[in-house]
Structure 1
Amino acid sequence: MRVNKKTVLVRLVGACVMLCILSVFTTQGGRHNSSRPRDLYPPVCPPPSRTPDKRVFILPDIFSEVPVSEDGGYNIFLLESSCVTSLHPRVWCALESVARQNPEARVWLVMTSGALEEDTMTTTLLPRYPNIRTVTAHPAQVLAHTPLHAIYTSEAWRANTSWPEINLGDLVRLGLVWELGGLYLDSDVVCLRPLTRLMNTMAWQDRDTLGSGAFHFTPGHPVLARIMDHASHTFKGNVWGASGPRAFTSAVHEHCGGAVAGTLTRCPDLTVLPITSFYPVPAPVWRTIFIPQRPRAVSQRYPGSYLLHTWRQLSGNYPVIKDSGSIYDQAAREFCPHTRILATAHSKTY
């Protein structure tokens, strides 16, 4: 079959146009886009303070570390959305317990501050647990391909609110899991069991509300898309949990066909676990975790639980006393022993 020169020329031009379109898409659109340098985004936090006696590590960007689940790995994300550059011992306990229980997973500590101070925790725990990876992420980049981007760029997340860092964390956690896929955990947990078999999962926080403190989705999951869409339309910076439990509960109610609150266990593409799975101690009785109890192995006390959630916004200023017999101290001795030793080297409270 003969093809004239005009036809060949048209086909060549068409091929060139298609290549150009594909090139533009892969560099500007779609998920997992890390082509824009981090330093082109306006900073969220001030530069870390430096003194002669304080060493600060500048953290790599998470997108430069390529943690996508497509390579068969399992991502677990913990997020520090304030501008701190050092971590409370209970955050280190969360990291250590997750890393110990899930040695094959990549445990990402994502800090919006972009820096982490050197101290005894960093120099002891990070070498001991090589699966802990400390990184930063800019919210504008994390949220760029989500319906939540406008909330960030308009600064609605920190307008007329007493908890801007909470609002920011609620948004960024959704973007991270949407982009990269994996399990998000609040940084006030103690991990009691391996987590890497959890897929497209969340849990009830109480009888009527789904929790946003622990959830897993594969990248671009339709339920997560619905949650973000709901949050983008209902977000109010002065309403606690507007893009957290409220958005999760409403979106899943719609996705699963109006299931009765508290009874749903499964619907298409989603597993919903009972309250005790992630939140065995309900928020109204959070003090139970910190008062002396009769000695009993934590795994026996909470046999069906993956996590012990400590409700940091309520309990953050409540001290843990070493050898007091509290549930938290017993859990720390078993699941984050090195953190406990370091935290109590000079004081019995942590």
Structure 2
Amino acid sequence: MDTKNIYANTYPSKFHHFLSLHHPQRSKKSLFAILSLLLLLLLAYNGVSLFCLDVTKFSSSLMYAPKVENQPSIPTTRLSLLKNSRTWVLFKNGSSIHKPKQRQKQRPTVFKFLGSKARTEQFSARVKEFFDEKLSNSSCNVKFFMTWISSLESFGERELFTIESLFKSHPNGCLIIVSDSMDSRGGLQLLRPFSDKGFRVTSISPDFDYLLKNTVAESWFDRLKKGDVNPGWVSLGQNLSNLLRLALLYKFGGVYIDTDVIILKSFAPLRNSIGAQTVDVETGNWSRLNNAVMIFDQGHPLVYMFIEEFALTFNGNLWGHNGPYLVSRVVSRVKTRPGCDFNVLPPTAFYPVGWTVIRTLFVGGTANDEAHSKWLNAKLTQIRGQSFAVHLWNRQSRELKVEEGSVIGHIMQDCCVLCNSSASTF
């Protein structure tokens, strides 16, 4: 007989009392064990659920990271051209991880300005044909070039009036607008009023490879296309325009003008010339030149130096560094170099007013402001007598209205050939 039975037979009342005390305790322990097991299962289930949710959120953040709000704004051209830049994936909580950059390179958006390959390959032949007097049955006493890097729709009244003023002073001149957007049916339609009057004007898409061949800028441009040149924050199109005008003058010779320049008189007497924008008040020497108007012979050494300077010192983060400041730097170094003859014309030639006061040319005279009316008449007389052209400084004057009786109002009357431009849309 086991101990339990002996204890039960000997002390029956105490045994039953013992069972009454310990049976509920065993029940409680069993219940507690079951509850603990259920709690552990519940915690395990919640942990798995949370983990799955976190993974889902992580994956979602990774997939849509480019759309995170408040990301730094980076130009498309900069992203596609910076070969050695790192790619980072940003998350909503501000953290980031490094994502290996893919080797595939994309063609920068700005290179749409360069034109399609089929059209650019025809550039040389089209230019030569346009300037060929035998094929055109008319002479071309002055060759003009413009560049246009914007859309066709933005070629407006002011740009068209620049063409009017050109043919008013040079009825036998020739103008090529080097532009991809203007080299189109729409561009042809815009220029038709001039061609219908017998003026020689056309638009041709640029071929940079041809224009830069055998210059220092040839290798620079190759590196740019490969993504090995940092384009900087200044518009790459603007800087390519700075280079394009130099290449055109070096390759063909002639006159380059910006599309916001009104021509007042013939450029025929000018040769190998560039204009000063400002002069030193004390010495009378020029302090800054500008590249909005340039006249040079084909293959001129100074123009080659400009191209060389562009390729060797390019900086896309400084406005004007590859344009007005570039020509100023080079000319300051070659003032007395033999075999490099050129002329620096005074500001009155092309820049009779600076960009800070261009507004004054748009303001008309009033009977109540005798001082301004007197200044207006004196300035108009000076410009008509001493200036070959007037640079309008588009960045500062684009939104200005031409008031009646203003200097610009008088100049528009002097220089039109179609004479249908509206002062309100100029």
Q: Normalising by structure 2, report the TM-score.
A: 0.60
* Displacement of 1:73: 4.4
Matched-pair contact (CA < 8 Å) for 2:157–2:425: no
> 1:300 and 2:381 equivalent?
yes
Instruction: State the partner residue of 2:215.
Output: 146
Name the CA distance, whole Å, in 2 between partners of 1:83 and 1:166: 13
Provide, for residues 29-69 of structure 1, a one-character-per-residue CA deviation record: whole Å limited to 9, x for no partner: xxxxxxxxxxxxx9932799xxxxxxxxx9x7364231679
Provide, for residues 298-328 of structure 1, a one-character-per-residue CA deviation record: whole Å limited to 9, x for no partner: 8624111000100112222x1334x522322
Higher helix share: 2
Provide, for residues 187-210 of structure 1, a one-character-per-residue CA deviation record: whole Å limited to 9, x for no partner: 101101101221111111112111
Q: Give unpaired runs (5+ residues) of structure 2.
A: 1-108, 134-138, 280-286, 366-372
Provide, for residues 167-216 of structure 1, a one-character-per-residue CA deviation record: whole Å limited to 9, x for no partner: 11101000000101111111101101101221111111112111111111
Instruction: State the partner residue of 2:163.
Output: 95
Matched-pair contact (CA < 8 Å) for 1:62–1:136: no
Name the CA distance, whole Å, in 2 between partners of 1:136 and 1:234: 27
Instruction: State the partner residue of 1:54.
Output: none
Instruction: State the partner residue of 1:64.
Output: 126
Find the residue that maps to 1:160 and give its secondary structure.
coil
Instruction: State the partner residue of 1:348.
Output: 424
Instruction: State the partner residue of 2:293.
Output: 214
Instruction: State the partner residue of 1:7.
Output: none
Task: Select the residue among 221, 226, 246 that pairs with 1:174.
Answer: 246
Structure-2 change in CA distance of 1:182 and 1:69 (3 Å) = farther
**Pairing 1:109-148 to 2, within 5 Å after superposition:** 109-113=177-181, 114-115=183-184, 117=186, 121-148=190-217
Instruction: State the partner residue of 1:255.
Output: 334
Matched-pair contact (CA < 8 Å) for 1:105–1:131: yes
Structure-2 change in CA distance of 1:179 and 1:287 (3 Å) = same
Matched-pair contact (CA < 8 Å) for 2:191–2:202: no
State the identity %: 22
Provide, for residues 258-300 of structure 1, a one-character-per-residue CA deviation record: whole Å limited to 9, x for no partner: 9xxxxxxx99411111111011111121212222244749862
Name the CA distance, whole Å, in 2 between partners of 1:69 and 1:210: 33
Instruction: State the partner residue of 2:7.
Output: none
Matched-pair contact (CA < 8 Å) for 2:191–2:201: no
213-222 or 136-145: bigger deviation: 136-145
Higher Cα radius of gyration: 2
> 1:334 and 2:406 equivalent?
no
One-letter identity of the residue aligned with 1:142: L
Find the residue that maps to 1:133 and give its secondary structure.
strand
Q: Give unpaired runs (5+ residues) of structure 1.
A: 1-41, 49-57, 259-265
Structure-2 change in CA distance of 1:176 and 1:119 (3 Å) = closer
Instruction: State the partner residue of 1:161.
Output: 233
Name the CA distance, whole Å, in 1 between partners of 2:355 and 2:126: 37
Q: What number of residue pairs does the alignment pair up?
A: 288
Structure-2 change in CA distance of 1:288 and 1:190 (3 Å) = same
Structure-2 change in CA distance of 1:267 and 1:93 (3 Å) = farther
> 1:320 and 2:401 equivalent?
yes
Name the CA distance, whole Å, in 2 between partners of 1:291 and 1:267: 45
One-letter identity of the residue aligned with 1:176: L
Q: Does 1 or 2 have the higher relative contact order (CA < 8 Å, sep 6+)? A: 1
Name the CA distance, whole Å, in 1 between partners of 2:153 and 2:208: 17
Matched-pair contact (CA < 8 Å) for 1:190–1:308: yes
Task: Select the residue among 354, 361, 364 that pairs with 1:289.
Answer: 361
One-letter identity of the residue aligned with 1:330: H
* Displacement of 1:119: 8.3
* Displacement of 1:101: 0.2
Name the CA distance, whole Å, in 1 between partners of 2:229 and 2:363: 35
Provide, for residues 1-24 of structure 1, a one-character-per-residue CA deviation record: whole Å limited to 9, x for no partner: xxxxxxxxxxxxxxxxxxxxxxxx
Name the CA distance, whole Å, in 2 between partners of 1:127 and 1:234: 44
Matched-pair contact (CA < 8 Å) for 2:234–2:318: no
Name the CA distance, whole Å, in 2 between partners of 1:163 and 1:227: 19
Matched-pair contact (CA < 8 Å) for 2:306–2:326: yes
